[in-house]
A and B are shown apart, each in its own frame.
Chain A
Amino acid sequence: MDNLAPDTPILELRQVDKRFLGTHALKQVDLAFRQGEIHAIVGENGAGKSTLIKILTGAHIRTAGTILFQGKEVALASPLEAISLGINAVHQEVVLCTHLTVAANIFLGDERTNGGLLRDRAMVAEAQRLLDDLGFDLPAGAVLGDLAIGQQQLVATARAAARGVKFLIFDEPTAYLTRQDTDKLFRLIRRLNAEGVTIVYISHRMEEIFQLADRVSVLRDGQKVATHVVAETNERELIRDMVARTIEEVHYKEHIPAGDMLLEVTGLSGPGFRDVSLTVRRGEVVGLYGLVGAGRSEFVQCLFGRTKRIAGEVKLKGETVAIRHESDAIERGIALVPESRRDQGLCLNMGVGFNLNLPVFGRISPMGLVDTRAEKRDAAKQIGDLRIVAASASVPAATLSGGNQQKIVVGKWLNHGAELFIFDEPTVGVDVGTKVEIYKVFAALLKAGAGIILISSYLPEVYDLSDRLHVFSRGTIVASHEAKAAHPETILSEAIGV
């Protein structure tokens, strides 16, 4: 390995492609990581960063393309293979066993034994030496779950360091770290790097990239758009690369004149967000943009009555309302189309018609008995109006495509007669054709006099569709823009907090 030239890639992706059902997550990515460098990767949410990590760690298998490790072609078909090659990752969410001790986690899968019996004391001692050596002030005998999330992150890093790793990927490692822990982590990264470990560092935080990395690659819409030497670039250039638009992107929007005031929120504060004020009129799309964790979802959860309001006022159609529970919101005509259709939006193993009628069984059940004729009629109307592609109203929702599932979630609220629709990341994981279908549903809702709050981490989408755009950062609105009044680069800068 010493005879390799410094520029030789340790790991190289050639024309790597990854498709999931309906989505093209990575498009012919060429990417070379040089032996011993710190290589940052940036991109908007959904640009393909997570998919890239999963392919590098063997969690997903690429659809096409080749991967070379130290010049030799590798299959990289399982996590085990990646680990045996010396490729390891530290994830944003700690994936360790919180009930076991720090030492047990560090040696998990590689335990020190004596005739089949665990040598617990020896492992704790060895783990403690490792932690001390790395400069982490952590007790090896402590139960992992008793430590703060940031400290758990350090344990995860120590675990990777203990494995004789050659190639280490960090996925937004500082998201939950304190300032001091971040410094410790950076020291460790530099030290591992000095020992010859190649580092891939994924982060939203620009300052970290300029502090740490040698080179930086930008992903956008599943494609690698550029690789820069960090010393020769600046934040402005990176942000431009991240948001530059592809021409074929279609965001279907009809112009619909705004009508009466539907929702007025003044100074609303709650868990995870503070002092949010905004208005929605009939016929309007109000976009909420921000990075994950900026407080957008927390705000709508509170608006929908799922969490407690701390301060502020909510007016619906001119009337001050107290929404204490989801059912209050639903009764007043607010519908939440949640981010995770599968986990929150649908009863997947139940029929399409069942799901479409779930919010209205109370209405179509005189004396408690369901009027099955009304049930069928309502389901058929929504299936027809929204053009939901399903063999029948009784097939399970799970058998439908992502876009059609999304239509069911919208359809059940149309059926219920909601007027204010909150869409949380409505187009995540759906293909372009379905996206257009969903945008057409938006238009239909607006024409019918509804108002829409659209949460999206995908800037081109909120940018094109919103009549007004509010930028969230660190729990509050940091900027508001009328339709297309600001440049996308400005908006991204505001969200990142540059």
Chain B
Amino acid sequence: MTATASDPILKVEHLSMKFGGLVAVGDLSFEARRGEITALIGPNGAGKTTVFNCITGFYKPSEGMITMTRRDGTAYLLERLPDFMIPAKAKVARTFQNIRLFSGMTLLENLLVAQHNKLMQASGMTVLGLFGAPAYRKASAESRDLATYWLEKADLLDRADDPAGDLPYGAQRRLEIARAMCTGPELLCLDEPAAGLNPKESLALNTLLNDIKDNTGTSILLIEHDMSVVMQISDHVVVLEYGRKISDGDPASVKSDPKVIAAYLGIDDQEVENVLVEVGDEHVIEELDGTPDPEHGPAASASMMAGPISETIEHAADFEGLVKIAPGASKADRVASGGTPDAPEPPSGSTLDDDLTLIRGIGPVNARMLREHGVTSFAQIAAWNEADVAAVEAYLEFDGRIAREDWIGQARKLTGDPAPGDATSGGRG
């Protein structure tokens, strides 16, 4: 976010990964800065996990260079290291999208396995340890202390002696992060840590991640679909689509990037413009009027999968429920984050143009139709009488839904108590 002199901990340069003829990642370059949380986002199939697998050595990239610089200045070329050396030497730890715990082992054992290399060394490759050498005993006690520390951080201390497979899903996610932290990483790679978590668990996860960042100095690289997590905690966001980077910057700038909106919404240019009109960002509209940026626009992509933006409508429509960047879903996001006032400061748009989708029951389609009819602010809706309601219902082809969902009451509340973000919600993530 800030342009401090923080040096990159991880530098990905011209990374390509091809599976036969399929280009999963094409010529990707980005940097993750030390001590920051870098988020890697993008629609499904954008190649995020492939990038992760290249960084953590599970895939050998077809082209490109991945440089990991440790705190002491030693640099490792990750694409050249065997997979188990990456956590051991380059100190990059990871978690998995589908949790991979040692389910038959207790929580404590899971965290002790993570300290394998350290303990192996202390036990003199097992030989000294078999005879109970004091150095091994000391290292063994220390490893238990470290495990206890992370169990406490992950709020799992009271279940330390239970099998990991017995934990609820959210706790398993936290345990996996705690296990990765027990390897003493300098870069922690998290593959969708918030997937499948309820809002409370998601909040606990955010706390844990922020705590890791602030107290251990570990940099974090995460893949995430849950925009509330991404926007709340990340310092830097890289957006992928079809294996290419389409945006890179701080969360505020990324979420107003038209290419990102297009990628996530999968709507045609006209509709993007509509969205941007709602947002009221003139500058962006001008930029969008031009042709897609050939440098990283999908239209000019060499990727076999890439096509013009308009071709992405069908697939992207499926993800509207998941991807919280859609304006219609922003209220769901609000609910999910427990009403946390996390919306950014309103830009210099007109305050009259309220985001009607904040009213429960008004989706993006209805909002557009209402807007075309001249209804643009909460005040107007709040002032509706019965005849108006009947007219609107006829126009929107509803039957009693407005009264049932109490649009008028909601609108009154919104006008009386204008929430800080309601003017801009179309653009927030």
Are A and B part of the same complex?
Answer: no
